[in-house]
Chain A
């Protein structure tokens, strides 16, 4: 038998290099990841890289540009409208996110209780989120119309509380807050439904135990609901900040950045300069300038809210 065993071993040829390569684990992992990597490179890295490159050139629509170094950024540094768009974006993101979270959490808490027609109400709540942004923007455009606003009509002609129509979009601060209100309206369902999902994962036994210990509703919220909700809150907050920071459609459809550029966000200004204005390089520079803010917001939400030790079984210091 020893002979036959030897002949068996000798008869088995060495595996060819390709087979050996695929048997090598690191290579196999790399090959399996390649399709995903390809998609990422094609659809994320390339456009992003192109954007970063364009920001260093003076490319215009219909004319390829030359490398100009930091010239676009220098020009933006002295650009009053650019800085206004930065402060607008920060204000818009901050106020709208706070509003969305306050109202969204409140709505989620209400929906988490027993209410009649629960499923129906939950479906209704999603409507602002489902309606295409441009449609809701057009609705708001009418609601905020200087001459035909339903709000002005009710306040002036029906209730008689005011003498003049409200100039929602004609003065900078009115316009900014009108847009923030529209964004909050649109964003609430996303926050509410996500937080509702989070609420439903909290075990009722925790509340029962707390109630036996005589905890008030506020104490139950503060010591059970909020800490248990924090991980999902962090994720939703990150998404919400990113969506709000990069919002384009609402502002573009309602004010197009007006009056006099006072409601431009960085995204709308980048578009305005790059496409209608034709200055692709400058528009790209504005878009690239958004990246640090987005990274900062993401890092903050992630580290400040999500990475608590107690979530991994430790104790917070």
Chain B
């Protein structure tokens, strides 16, 4: 097999991308500075295995696979992409890391790469190049990607939970828009319940949705897992206030949310069972692209808004970052890095971003100009998911301990145990404190 040099790859990439650009109309121009990419010679005979989470929007899978195929066509490196259920991604990665064999490239959750710092390939050269070429990384992307100044992973995108609601039902409840404060939001949910179109937010061990709103509610009230010095401070009056609010909000939900995993609110919303939830843009995407005319009509009625702001006075939404990393056991690290670079170049990334209609939010600032953000006003609330977000170990540093706390759903279960009536807010906060301290034991 022929070993391709960086330049050959680039030339072929540019040619193909040019053709793709002509084919797709209405694309905004992404400003890409002329920066020399790192010199990476693809190993001869290389082949790649990529492990990533399954799609929630079809475009995420289709265009990702198309791009991977383009990479194979240009470099001759076969790429096998495996899609894994969201909750099963972590165990798969853990086994691969411990055994030292498995996928070369992994698209892992948020802070997951920080559990494998000494088992991944250094991506600093690549990330620096991409940052310089595309207007810089959002600070949040850098936070997730780096450790001690070294890039251990590179976000490909971030999904954000925004309020997803049915406008007609919101109007029926007497509202024009989703209130931006916590009390107003609670009142809205109470009224939605009264008119028979309750809200529903996931409280099961849901990687995306559960973590999204449970962290939001704690942060919005000023609570946090750890302080700036990584001291555990979860058991605070602010957290207890947050738990009381969550319980009150839970009373307005449709029954059954305690068992909801990530797909549950999508299904319930599309079936007309709930009038409001917190989710990515996937519900709107599913409705818009449904084969069922009734469901397609629903898309007209679906609107998005940012989550309300609590006493802390700033947005406190979380971003579910999809973080690309290359395992050090890979026999073809250069091929893997070239693959990552190829996927992030605008010829591939912009069509991908557009196909996801904003489900994955861009980590590189130049993609603010992408057509996806102006194509439909309903995409707009998702434009700055990553820019606005707080990180999972908020106030502290991202480290293996914080990744483990997240993977063990400690915050979600703290909120859920109060909502379920299993524990008082004080008990739940104390229990979470005990669990988090166990992880943070040095």
Contact = CB atoms under 8 A, between A and B. Distances in A.
Interface in B195-244: 203-205
Contacts of B413: 260-261
Most chain A CB neighbours (cut-off 10 Å) among B116, B119, B205:
B205
17 contacts: A62-B119, A63-B400, A146-B257, A147-B254, A147-B267, A147-B268, A165-B255, A170-B255, A256-B261, A259-B204, A260-B420, A262-B422, A273-B408, A275-B94, A276-B87, A276-B407, A276-B408
Contact of B271 (A63, A147, A168, A260): A147
Contacts of A257: 205
A272 interface: yes
Interface string B267-306: 1100101000000000000000000000000000000000
Contacts of B431: 80
A255 interface: yes
A262 B434 CA distance: 18
B17 interface: no
A271 B95 CA distance: 12
B256 A165 contact: yes
A34 interface: no
A171 B258 contact: yes
Given A276-B87, A278-B94, 18 more contacts: A60-B404, A62-B94, A62-B117, A62-B119, A62-B400, A75-B438, A147-B264, A167-B255, A169-B259, A170-B257, A170-B258, A172-B422, A256-B204, A258-B258, A261-B413, A262-B420, A276-B91, A279-B404
Given A167-B256, A276-B94, A278-B94, A260 B407 contact: no
B348 interface: no
A66 B117 CA distance: 19
A62 B118 contact: yes
A155 to B, nearest CB: 14
Nearest to A254: B259
A222 interface: no
B25 interface: no
A170 B87 CA distance: 18
The residue in B90, B407, B438 that gathers the most chain A C-beta atoms within 10 A of its C-beta is B407
Nearest to A78: B434
Contact of A61 (B94, B271, B420, B422): B94
A175 interface: yes
Interface string A110-150: 00000000000000000000000000000000000011100
A164 interface: yes
B282 to A, nearest CB: 17
Considering residues A260, A273, A275, A277, which has the most beta carbons from chain B within 10 angstroms of its beta carbon? A260
Interface of A: 60-63, 75, 78, 80, 146-148, 164-165, 167-172, 175, 255-262, 271-273, 275-279
B284 to A, nearest CB: 19
B417 interface: yes
A221 to B, nearest CB: 42
A61 B438 CA distance: 15
A260 B118 contact: no
Contacts of B87: 256, 276
B81 interface: no
Considering residues A61, A171, A275, which has the most beta carbons from chain B within 10 angstroms of its beta carbon?
A61
Contacts of A259: 203-204, 258-259, 416, 420
Nearest to B428: A260
A260 B409 CA distance: 9
B422 A278 contact: no
B91 A275 contact: yes
Nearest to A75: B438
B140 interface: no
Given A62-B119, A276-B91, A146 B400 contact: no
Interface in B96-133: 97-98, 115-119
A9 B416 CA distance: 90
B258 A276 contact: no
B260 to A, nearest CB: 8
B422 A146 contact: no
A228 to B, nearest CB: 45
A278 B94 CA distance: 8
A61 B97 contact: yes
A148 B267 contact: yes
A272 B117 CA distance: 22
A61 B115 CA distance: 8
A278 B255 contact: no
B290 to A, nearest CB: 17
A95 to B, nearest CB: 20
Contacts of B407: 276-278
A276 B203 contact: no
5 closest Cβ contacts across the A-B interface?
A146-B256, A259-B258, A169-B259, A277-B408, A170-B256
B417 A260 contact: yes
Contacts of A164: 255
Contacts of B119: 62
A226 to B, nearest CB: 41
A170 B256 CA distance: 5
Nearest to A278: B404
Contacts of B117: 62
Interface in B138-196: none
A172 B204 CA distance: 12
Given A62-B98, A260-B422, A276 B259 contact: no
B204 A258 contact: yes
Contact of B408 (A148, A170, A262, A272): A272
Contacts of B98: 61-62
A113 to B, nearest CB: 42
Given A62-B97, A276-B94, A256 B404 contact: no
Contacts of A147: 254, 256, 264, 267-268, 271, 273
Contacts of B417: 260
Contacts of B404: 60, 277-279
Contacts of B403: 278
B328 to A, nearest CB: 11
B97 A258 contact: no
Interface in B359-418: 400, 403-404, 407-408, 413, 416-417
Given A167-B255, A259-B204, A148 B97 contact: no
Contacts of A261: 413
A275 B95 contact: yes
B271 to A, nearest CB: 6
A235 to B, nearest CB: 34
B226 to A, nearest CB: 17
Contact of A278 (B203, B260, B268, B400): B400
A191 B119 CA distance: 47
